[in-house]
Structure 1
Amino acid sequence: MRTNIVIIVIFLFFSVIIYRVYNLSIVSYQEYNKLSQKNMTKTIPIPPVRGIIYDRDNNPVALNELRFNLTIKPHLKENELNQTLQNIIALIPDSNLSKMYQEYKKNNSPYNNKNIPILTYLPEDLVYKIEPILSQDGNIRFEPTYLRKYPYKFYLSNVLGYVSKANKKDLQRNKVITYTQISGKRGVERYYDNILQGSLGEKKVIVNARNKILKVLDIKEPISHKIILSIDTKLQKFIYDLLESENKKGAVVVMRTNGEILALVSVPSYDNNLFVKGISYKKWNELSHNIYNPLLNKPVSGLYPPGSTVKPAEALIAIASGKWNPWQKIFCGPYVEIGNRKFRDWKLGGHGPTDVFKAIKRSVDVYFYKIGLKLGIDYIAENLKKMGFGKKTGIDLPNEKKGIVPNKEWKAKKYHQPWFIGETLNAVIGQGYFLATPIQVAVNTALIASGKLPKPFVVKQIDNNVTKPIIKDVLNYKEKKNLWMIRKGMWEVCNSPGGTATRHINTKITIAGKTGTAQVYSIPQEVKKRKREDELKYFHRSHAWLTTYGPYKNPQFVVTVLIEHGGHGGSAAGGIVSKIYNYLVDNGYIK
């Protein structure tokens, strides 16, 4: 009996063993095989190279220069670290030992298994000299990287922006940034950052227990994208140098009537290369505290009283309303009196009998005061917003400002105060609370020139995808029908004797336009005779506007110029506008 029990126990024991062997070798083979493959196979992300930006002539305006980072293995003992740093100092004596040590300590942690960069963006020629010697130290490794370069510096910095080291918010925004460690901060670099970052590639490899690569199984290349701007760099440089040579600050927009921008100039500007490796505190202070605002992209983010540049749009609104007779000659004296205040015309004695053509040609303030009193601020503001003011144009650049077209509701929300009639008179001549950007003025001018409201853009093409212009039909039948009157008035501004810009225009084609003189310093009521602009202190002088389109009979381009504290629009900007149109003719843009 005992023998039988022993035999049964032995039989059961071996049966269990046989079952386990079968289960492990046959049944669980696939599962364990997968697990072993996971232990052996590793996927390594490959970061893309940031996309190159070209101008309209395919010249690179933002490119990548090959550089190297000097990195040190993590988890080194103190004596090993000190010896490695001494090896580096021996070959790169101008490097800072203390900073390298601090950089290593800051990034060295038990959870970090990646090499720690302590010297970044080393040039190729230096690395080729020192790498054969320093590579003998097993703790040192050189890793290739790229340095963003902007060859045109301040000429294009307001358009391009720049890249710099990514912050925590950037890292959360795009997975690729985790590997590239840089992100766009302004301009096209910021607006199109996700496209310029590209897409990660990957390398599948087999590794051993020490994480050493034994075999490469597959490589998926990263994808980079290229961007082509609509900007003509030569024209951009030509305009910037023109303003600099005349010691003028401000903004210039050169745009096709369909919204394609050829030049977007902001003066003064800054060298965007300063930010790529990290700008010094001293240099940042110089730029940020500069009274001429070099960091501001003035065409898109600069807010200014638009002055008389709004008068053509207001004249169109008045005519189309049916409440205003453009042919009637209204007497326009030296002022309009509301209460105890006189709202003066810019001309001391007034302009006498005035119709809509003369009102635009001579920029007659009193004529537009009367339009404001007739139509009211709410009606005028509603229609001005339809025509491009008081809202973003949608340009493909960051930090665009929408400006202010004031009305009763706006003031009640902003200041909790009622609207006064005198504020209507200020608003209709582009003063008071009214603020606009140069790009808004340009878009409104394109609307008058072509009858359609364009969405401006600076990127012409992404890879093989060409940007399609977006043009809105915003005018009603009466407005379209009467556009010719506004255009004729603007023609007289630049071509007819007495036009506010006629004496200052010298172009190879016929253009039309509107001047503007936007006061930044109020004139007391008791002052009967104004000082000339050149007699005022610089920051008390009015901003000077001249917005134009051409050719007059076949509008193709809009040129809008704002000269900060420039005084009169015609004299301050007429020569600049003329030279820009002649450039467009000479270079085949206008045939």
Structure 2
Amino acid sequence: MRTKIILFIIFVFYSLLIYRVYDLSVLSNEKYTKLSQKNFEKTVYIPAVRGVIFDRNGKPIAINELRFDIKIKPHLKGKELNQTLSSIADLTDANMTKMYKEYQKQNSPYNHKPITVLKYLKEDLVYKIEPFLSLDDNIEITPTYLRKYPQKIYLSNVLGYVSRANVKDLQRNPVIEYTQISGKRGVERYYDDILQGELGYKKEIVNARNNVLKVTETKAPISHTLKLSIDSDLQKFIYELLKKEDKKGAVVVMRTNGEVLALVTYPSYDNNLFVKGISFKEWNALAHNIYNPLLNKPVSGLYPPGSTVKPAEAAIAIASGKWNPWKKIDCPGYILVGNRKFRDWRPWGHGKADVFKAIKESVDTYFYQLGLKLGINYIASNLKKMGFGHKTGIDLPNEKSGIVPDKEWKARRFHQPWFIGETMNAVIGQGYFLATPLQVAVNTALIATGKLPKPYVVKYIDNNETKPVLKDVLNQKEKNALRLVRRGMWMVCNAPGGTATKHIHTKITIAGKTGTAQVYSIPQEVKKRKREDELAYFHRSHAWLTTYGPYRHPQFVVTVLIEHGGHGGSAAGGIVSEIYNWLYDHGYIKK
């Protein structure tokens, strides 16, 4: 019996041994083959060169300049590390202490990648020092690219810039781990995933010392290019116009289908400052500049729209059936609501005015009465439909929605009731009402054509063209009302007494609307207002002029906002005229 037990144990032992051999050699063969391959085969990912950006005429406006980085193997210590850093410092005049700190910051037991201690060295320097540095096996020189913006200040608000990626960037897109840069602001940020391109790779067979024995497979990285709808020459022309007259503000030049040709902020900044890392002093100067050069004013700047909203309100009133556009209404220098006077911009008033005169001369008291008749909720809901109070959808980051106030908005925001005096302020584009210059331009395009465009600045991604998006947001009554409103806007720029007539000198006929948006309130006890030029700069009103042309066959919208510029016609009329004449002279507008 004892012999049988021993034999049984021996049998079980050898059975398990045979099964284990079978498992290792047959059943787990594929598993261990893959593990074995990982020991001698590795994949090296290759980032694409960041996509080049062109303007509409094919001029490069964001390019890559060949540079070189110097990297050091990780886990170096003591004398070996000091000797390596010293040899680099001697040949490049780099600060050894800064390189040492950068190395220590990235060095860890878990990091097996070379550590960059110097970035963006120029070609001519690298060609001189490479023969000496290549003698040290701890040093690696790798090619890289430095983003350059040839247009500098002229396109910085549109393009944005690139800089070193942060943790959030790395989480957002795995490709950034290999490029180590990401887009900040503007087109560079909005289209960052496209501009990063697609990773390439090569599969290598290496030995135990990680030396490459053979490359088994390769795939080239893929870069993508962008072509903007922006004309960089026009952009520069407008910027220099504002600079010459020292007028801070924003300009939008857009086809009526939403294609943007110019999107200007003045003053602006040089986006090249950010690529290699901006100094604290330079950043502080930009961030605390009272004229806010870092703000993309056409897209992110919020301003009271002033009288630029009056054409849209006139169309809303006419289409409602509650307002007779032909009826002449008495428009004195103010109207009394409760115990408060709401004054017209002209102290003695405008006499009798119909809708045409009300638009032509920007008659405040006419629109006060219109607001009382229709009510704020009705006006606000229709203004939202016509482009105000929400983002336009432009392909740029940080666009603001603006505010079209109504009773519900105030209750939600301040937990307070709406007062009738707030309606008076809102209908002349004041009070809580805020809009971006781009929203005003989009609303002007709607009035000109009857269609609400979605603006865009990227015309092509590689060879794929952006198709214009036009929304049909108006009913037939509203479209019919626009015909009357357009006539009033023609009178603004062409008829005697029009608020812009004296200041418009264009080679084509245009239509438009001026606006003067106060930035501080005038007490009731002040009987006589100061002239704009008598006020301190930051107390002056913002000046608007939004236009479309040619009048009969609208092709372009030009919207100009001059911060603290005073009256819209005088502050912006000359600039608008210059822009239309430039468009005409360069073949954008044909007879």
Where on the TM-score scale, by shorter chain, does this alignment land: which range?
over 0.9
- Distance (whole Å) between structure 2 residues aligned to residue 427 and residue 539 of structure 1: 22
Report the TM-score, using the length of structure 1 for normalisation. 0.96
- Distance (whole Å) between structure 2 residues aligned to residue 260 and residue 508 of structure 1: 22
Aligned residues: 585
Matches within 5 A, 1:378-417: 378-417=377-416
| Match of residue 77 from structure 2 | 77
- Distance (whole Å) between structure 2 residues aligned to residue 48 and residue 528 of structure 1: 67
- Distance (whole Å) between structure 2 residues aligned to residue 105 and residue 366 of structure 1: 70
Say whether residues 1:65 and 2:65 are aligned partners. yes
Give the match's secondary structure for 1:461: strand
Unaligned runs of 5+ in 2: 1-8
Q: Aligned-pair distance for 1:242?
A: 0.4
| Match of residue 3 from structure 2 | none
Q: Aligned-pair distance for 1:454?
A: 0.2
| Match of residue 573 from structure 1 | 572
| Match of residue 460 from structure 1 | 459
Q: What is the RMSD computed on CA atoms of the aligned residues? A: 2.0
Give the match's secondary structure for 1:130: helix
Give the match's secondary structure for 1:482: helix
Q: Aligned-pair distance for 1:39?
A: 2.2
Q: Aligned-pair distance for 1:379?
A: 0.4
| Closer/same/farther in 2, CA of residues 20 and 244 from structure 1, 3 Å limit | closer
- Distance (whole Å) between structure 2 residues aligned to residue 20 and residue 420 of structure 1: 87
- Distance (whole Å) between structure 2 residues aligned to residue 281 and residue 534 of structure 1: 37
Say whether residues 1:331 and 2:330 are aligned partners. yes
| Closer/same/farther in 2, CA of residues 335 and 212 from structure 1, 3 Å limit | same
Measured against aligned partners, the alpha-carbon deviations of 1:506-552 in whole angstroms (never above 9, x if no partner) come to: 00000000000000121111222211111111001000000000000
| Closer/same/farther in 2, CA of residues 144 and 441 from structure 1, 3 Å limit | same
Matches within 5 A, 1:474-489: 474-489=473-488
Matches within 5 A, 1:173-572: 173-572=172-571
Give the match's secondary structure for 1:64: strand
- Distance (whole Å) between structure 2 residues aligned to residue 329 and residue 12 of structure 1: 112
Q: Which amino acid aligns with 2:351?
A: G
Q: Which amino acid aligns with 2:110?
A: Y
Matches within 5 A, 1:30-45: 32-45=32-45
- Distance (whole Å) between structure 1 residues aligned to residue 104 and residue 559 of structure 2: 54
| Closer/same/farther in 2, CA of residues 566 and 24 from structure 1, 3 Å limit | closer
Q: Aligned-pair distance for 1:218?
A: 0.8
| Match of residue 4 from structure 1 | none
Give the match's secondary structure for 1:404: coil
- Distance (whole Å) between structure 1 residues aligned to residue 65 and residue 50 of structure 2: 11
- Distance (whole Å) between structure 2 residues aligned to residue 443 and residue 471 of structure 1: 11
Q: Aligned-pair distance for 1:386?
A: 0.3
Q: Which amino acid aligns with 2:113?
A: K
Measured against aligned partners, the alpha-carbon deviations of 1:265-312 in whole angstroms (never above 9, x if no partner) come to: 000000001111111111111000000000000000000000000000
Q: Aligned-pair distance for 1:334?
A: 0.7
- Distance (whole Å) between structure 1 residues aligned to residue 272 and residue 515 of structure 2: 36
Q: Aligned-pair distance for 1:467?
A: 0.2
| Match of residue 6 from structure 2 | none
Say whether residues 1:101 and 2:103 are aligned partners. no
- Distance (whole Å) between structure 1 residues aligned to residue 84 and residue 554 of structure 2: 68
Q: Aligned-pair distance for 1:253?
A: 0.2
Q: Aligned-pair distance for 1:29?
A: 5.7
| Match of residue 51 from structure 1 | 51
Matches within 5 A, 1:116-155: 116-155=115-154
Report the TM-score, using the length of structure 2 for normalisation. 0.96
Unaligned runs of 5+ in 1: 1-8
- Distance (whole Å) between structure 2 residues aligned to residue 29 and residue 434 of structure 1: 73
| Closer/same/farther in 2, CA of residues 14 and 151 from structure 1, 3 Å limit | same
Q: Aligned-pair distance for 1:36?
A: 2.9
| Match of residue 4 from structure 2 | none
- Distance (whole Å) between structure 2 residues aligned to residue 84 and residue 34 of structure 1: 38
- Distance (whole Å) between structure 2 residues aligned to residue 457 and residue 31 of structure 1: 52
Q: Aligned-pair distance for 1:37?
A: 2.7
- Distance (whole Å) between structure 2 residues aligned to residue 442 and residue 227 of structure 1: 24
Q: Aligned-pair distance for 1:135?
A: 1.3
| Match of residue 91 from structure 2 | 91
Measured against aligned partners, the alpha-carbon deviations of 1:91-114 in whole angstroms (never above 9, x if no partner) come to: 122x11111111111111111111
Measured against aligned partners, the alpha-carbon deviations of 1:534-578 in whole angstroms (never above 9, x if no partner) come to: 111100100000000000000000000000000000000000000
Measured against aligned partners, the alpha-carbon deviations of 1:28-48 in whole angstroms (never above 9, x if no partner) come to: 665554443332221111111
Q: Aligned-pair distance for 1:344?
A: 0.5
Q: Which amino acid aligns with 1:84?
A: T
Measured against aligned partners, the alpha-carbon deviations of 1:164-194 in whole angstroms (never above 9, x if no partner) come to: 1111111000000111111111000111111
- Distance (whole Å) between structure 1 residues aligned to residue 444 and residue 236 of structure 2: 24
| Match of residue 3 from structure 1 | none
